[in-house]
């Protein structure tokens, strides 16, 4: 039997404690630094074959492209950590992108802030709808958001029809948002990095954030511990929806041309990024920073393959491979960690 706890007349706990803690922390650090290592290897290999990969324009391109995904990944991380899934983010993005960008054509001179708020509002409404059905209706989130994936996309198609918003109907100030840079770093990337940092800090250091982890770690225990499970789930979906709404406006600014297919299939890409970034698919562990790094890695790979002139077919194959690798790695870490903690416990008897 493994027993860390031994009766009174015992050695001080210090060596045991720090040892275990160091091990645990090391594993978590490894999980995120692992992505950075893979990223670095990928960049180095690509750059050695095609130096053009590392020029400033391409790096800016990758960073800007990542922003939308990294943002979506933040919302998705909150949902996945609580052992739920939000499959509707791509459709919310599409709906928000079209509706907000089309405002420029309908009301000339409308402030850009209002457009962003519109996107936020649309996302918020969609997220709340998901949240209510999951939290109050007690329907599994996989089913709810699969349904809303089609519903939101359907509404999008109904509104857009065959039309599209074209770049020259959008003000230059709006289209320039993704292009602005400070010391060569896109403003947008900095802003998103700050948002992700805030999100990560919230998940780490606030009660409601920790409760999301608790719910994902052991849903039944969370209920018994008196955590307002429904309210937290609702909150996570609302935030995820709101983020997808804002991401939709950014998407519109980035691409300029928006039809009813905007954001199709993004939900699975985002979940891939989250899982590659080390968030456990059944909740309970992972970080927002890891998820953002996962998004960056996947986007870098796409870009590298493009620069190297490799068929985009490989793009998807490599994403799939990385996903398997990430899941295998998580499984490996979890088994080894459990074993290590057991051994450490037993050794102290």
Partner 1 sequence: MKILAGVYQPDAGALLVDGREVTLHGPAMARAAGIAVIYQEPALFPDLTVAENMFIGRQPLSSGRRIDRRVMRTEAATIFGRLGVQLDPARIARGLSIADQQVVEIGKAISLEARVIVMDEPTAALSAAEVDRLFDVVRTLRAAGTAVLFISHRLEEVFALCQRVTVMRDGKQVLTRELAGLVAGDLVRAMVGRELAERPAEEHGTPGEPLLTVERLTREGVFTDISFTVRTGEIVALAGLVGSGRSEVARAIFGIDKYDAGTVTVRGSRLRRGSPTGAMAAGVGFVPEDRRQQGLVMDMSVQQNVALASLRRLRRAGLIRSAAERRLAADWAARLKIKYGRLKDPVSMLSGGNQQKVVLAKWLGRKPAVLIVDEPTRGIDVATKAEVHHLLIQLARDGVGVLMISSELPEVLRISDRILVMREGRLMAELAHADASEEEILSAATGQAPSQEPPEASEAPARGAGK
Closest contact distance (angstroms) between CB of 238 and partner 1 is: 20
Closest contact distance (angstroms) between CB of 31 and partner 1 is: 13
Place of tokens 């051994």: 343
Q: Torsions phi, psi of 206, nearest 5?
A: -120, 150
| CA torsion angle 199 203 207 213 (round to 10) | 150
**Closest CB to partner 1 among residues 110, 337:** 337
Place of tokens 């699975």: 268
Three-class SS of residue 281? Answer: coil
| Sequence-separated (6 or more) residues with CB below 8 Å from residue 163 | 259
Q: Torsions phi, psi of 67, nearest 5?
A: -55, -45
Check residue 312 for interaction with partner 1 (CB under 8 A).
no
Check residue 338 for interaction with partner 1 (CB under 8 A).
yes
Check residue 207 for interaction with partner 1 (CB under 8 A).
yes
Q: Which stretch binds partner 1 (CB under 8 A): 116-124, 153-161, 205-213, 262-270?
A: 205-213
Three-class SS of residue 181? Answer: strand
Quote the longest CA-to-CA distance of the chain: 79
Closest contact distance (angstroms) between CB of 82 and partner 1 is: 12
Interface with partner 1 (CB under 8 A), residue from 26, 163, 223, 231: 223
Q: Report yes or no: 227 and 72 within 8 Å, Cβ to Cβ.
A: no
Check residue 321 for interaction with partner 1 (CB under 8 A).
no
Q: How many CA atoms lie within 13 A of 198 on its CB side?
A: 7
Among residues 264, 329, 303, the alpha carbon closest in space to that of 28 is found at 329
Check residue 217 for interaction with partner 1 (CB under 8 A).
yes
**Closest CB to partner 1 among residues 168, 220:** 220
**Closest CB to partner 1 among residues 63, 280:** 280
Residues in region 270-289 near partner 1 by CB under 8 A: 280, 284-285
# of chain residues touching partner 1 (CB under 8 A)? 45
Structure tokens at 270: 């985002």
Cα distances (Å, whole numbers) of residue 156 to 122, 241, 258, 301: 12, 15, 11, 30
Check residue 291 for interaction with partner 1 (CB under 8 A).
no
* Binding track, positions 21-40, relative to partner 1; x by CB under 8 A: x--x----------------
Interface with partner 1 (CB under 8 A), residue from 13, 51, 140, 171: 13
Place of tokens 């289209």: 175
Interface with partner 1 (CB under 8 A), residue from 109, 226, 265, 309: 226
Check residue 220 for interaction with partner 1 (CB under 8 A).
yes
Check residue 218 for interaction with partner 1 (CB under 8 A).
yes
| Sequence-separated (6 or more) residues with CB below 8 Å from residue 228 | 211
Interface with partner 1 (CB under 8 A), residue from 121, 230, 256, 345: 345
Interface with partner 1 (CB under 8 A), residue from 166, 198, 225, 324: 225
- The residues pairing with 185 across neighbouring beta strands, listed in sequence order, are 182
Which spans of this chain sit near partner 1 (rule: CB under 8 A)? 1-8, 10, 13, 16-17, 20-21, 24, 205-207, 210-211, 213-214, 216-218, 220-227, 280, 284-285, 334, 337-342, 345, 348
């Amino acid at each position: 039997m493994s027993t860390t706890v031994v009766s009174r007349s015992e050695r001080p706990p210090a060596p045991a404690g720090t040892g275990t803690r160091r091990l645990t922390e090391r594993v978590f650090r490894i999980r995120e630094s692992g992505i950075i290592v893979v990223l670095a290897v990928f960049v180095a290999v690509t750059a050695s074959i095609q130096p053009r990969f590392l020029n400033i324009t391409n790096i800016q391109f990758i960073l800007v492209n990542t922003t939308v995904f990294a943002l979506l990944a933040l919302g998705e991380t909150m949902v996945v950590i609580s052992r739920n899934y939000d499959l509707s983010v791509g459709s919310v993005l599409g709906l928000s992108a079209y509706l907000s960008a089309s405002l420029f054509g309908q009301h000339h001179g409308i402030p850009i802030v209002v457009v962003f708020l519109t996107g936020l509002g649309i996302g918020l409404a969609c997220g709340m709808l998901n949240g209510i059905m999951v939290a109050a209706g007690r329907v599994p989130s996989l089913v709810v958001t699969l349904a809303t994936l089609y519903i939101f996309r359907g509404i999008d198609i109904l509104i857009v029809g065959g039309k599209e918003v074209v770049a020259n109907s959008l003000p230059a100030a709006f289209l320039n948002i993704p292009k602005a840079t400070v010391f060569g770093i896109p403003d947008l990337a900095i802003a998103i990095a700050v948002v992700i940092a805030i999100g990560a800090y919230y998940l780490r250091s606030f009660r409601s954030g920790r409760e999301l982890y608790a719910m994902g770690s052991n849903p039944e225990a969370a209920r018994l511990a008196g955590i307002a499970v429904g309210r937290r789930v609702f909150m996570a979906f609302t935030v995820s929806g709101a983020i997808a709404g804002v991401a939709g406006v950014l998407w519109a600014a980035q691409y300029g041309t928006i039809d009813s297919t905007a954001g199709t299939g993004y939900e699975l890409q985002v979940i891939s990024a989250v899982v590659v970034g080390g968030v456990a698919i059944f909740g309970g562990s992972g970080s927002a920073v890891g998820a953002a790094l996962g998004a960056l890695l996947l986007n870098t790979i796409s870009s590298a393959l493009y620069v190297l002139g490799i068929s985009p077919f490989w793009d998807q194959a490599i994403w799939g491979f990385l996903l398997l690798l990430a899941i295998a790695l998580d499984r490996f870490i979890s088994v080894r960690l459990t074993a290590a903690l057991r051994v450490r416990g037993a050794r102290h008897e």
